[in-house]
Amino acid sequence: MCRTILLPFFLAAGCVNADKEQVDDASADDTSAGSPEENTGSDGEAGEEVDDGENDDEPVDRDGDGVFADEDCNDDDPNMPSGDADCDGTPTADDCDDADPSSTTRAEDADCDGVPNSEVEAVCYRWGADRSDLSEGTWNGSVDTCDPGIHDPTALDNALRLVNLFRWLSGLSEVETLPELNEMAQDCSLIMDAYGGLTHYPAESMQCYTDSGAQAASYSNISPYAGVYSVDLYMSDPGNATTLGHRRWILSNSLGPIGLGSTSSYSCMLVIGGSGTDSAPWTAWPPPGIVPFELTQLAWATLDQTGWSVQSDSMNLSDASVTITRDDGVDLPVDVTQLAAYYGSQWAISMVPSGWGAEPGRSYSVHIEAAGGVIDYTVDLVDCSAFN
């Protein structure tokens, strides 16, 4: 039984289906390696030169990672990163001094000034690193032949990395994808592309309909954009003032594993029916603590427009009153909306700034009094562009 309804906008969040079964990953890869046989000659007489059949001038790549032995720090380990001059396990781009294996990494010292990262540097480094590649890749499927194809794995990695960046900032566990769920999400994306629009309930008469894609459509955030950009758009969530459902599913305690699928123009993120075990009493967006100001400017709609939010599975946020106080002591007015239930959380509210906008370098203290209790937290917005 569905507990939600289709959102009245071109972004749509899935509805809860209590009968959804968890899909387990049962795939495994086996690899084996052989070795060339030696040629010891025909008669083996003493004094004859033995030819082993190998050309000593040919490059060698024992671990098959595409990096030849003379450039590979460990040619018996395919996971050893390439582009690591000092062979300390840190790629050049992330190493403060790639000629010194004892040097620090940028994850430890973002500006490589010899001083360990402050909390601001750590957050901004993660923000910049996880958003360094937002490419959408290519799709090899076809609407004409109803071939769902396979979307570029790099693009799927980019989308998943954004999901986990937003969850990390919120103090939530990271999630992973499953191949079976990705296939369902890909079928869903094909249906949307063929339809030229969005629906959580595809009809069997629709072009490129499949049972798998239709099921995924009812469990997914769906978007008329490719998958990587859509993650940002879900977090901004324009047009969904009564639910903010896309954002709430991504920040849900129960999220994961998820499925990601995308064509060049449409995408689905399968989010409902997860087995996540986070137990955050409440989750805010933007979250407490150090927060990149850039987070408030995602996609084409800012948080000043779509609203800040708080969601919870355990605290009743009904009848909430909200006060947001800037670091200069000024109370800032907000319009509070009680959001529809069961879009990633049982309770949720939005807080839309009224006549003001968030600014980098400022702190905002949020005080909420609701039926289920009181919430207090402070958001410190920082400009991360100086660190990347």
Tokens in use for 275? 């087995």
β-bridge pairing 373-382 and 289-292: parallel
Q: Return d(Cα 252, Cα 250) in angstroms, integer.
A: 6
- C-alpha dist (Å) from residue 368 to 249, 287, 313, 344, 350: 22, 14, 16, 20, 11
- What per-residue confidence (pLDDT) applies to 68? 78
pLDDT tens track, the chain, 388 positions? 443 333 333 455 554 443 333 333 333 333 333 333 333 333 333 333 334 444 556 778 887 777 777 777 887 887 666 677 778 777 776 667 767 766 666 666 766 866 566 899 999 999 999 999 999 999 999 999 999 999 999 999 999 999 999 999 999 999 999 999 999 999 999 999 999 999 999 999 999 999 999 999 999 999 999 999 999 999 999 999 999 999 999 999 999 999 999 999 999 999 999 999 999 999 999 999 999 999 999 999 999 999 999 999 999 999 999 999 999 999 999 999 999 999 999 999 999 999 999 999 999 999 999 999 999 999 999 999 987 6
- pLDDT value at position 108? 66
Cβ burial of 107 (10 Å; 0-12, 13-18, 19+) is middle
Q: Which two tokens stand for residue 277?
A: 């075990």
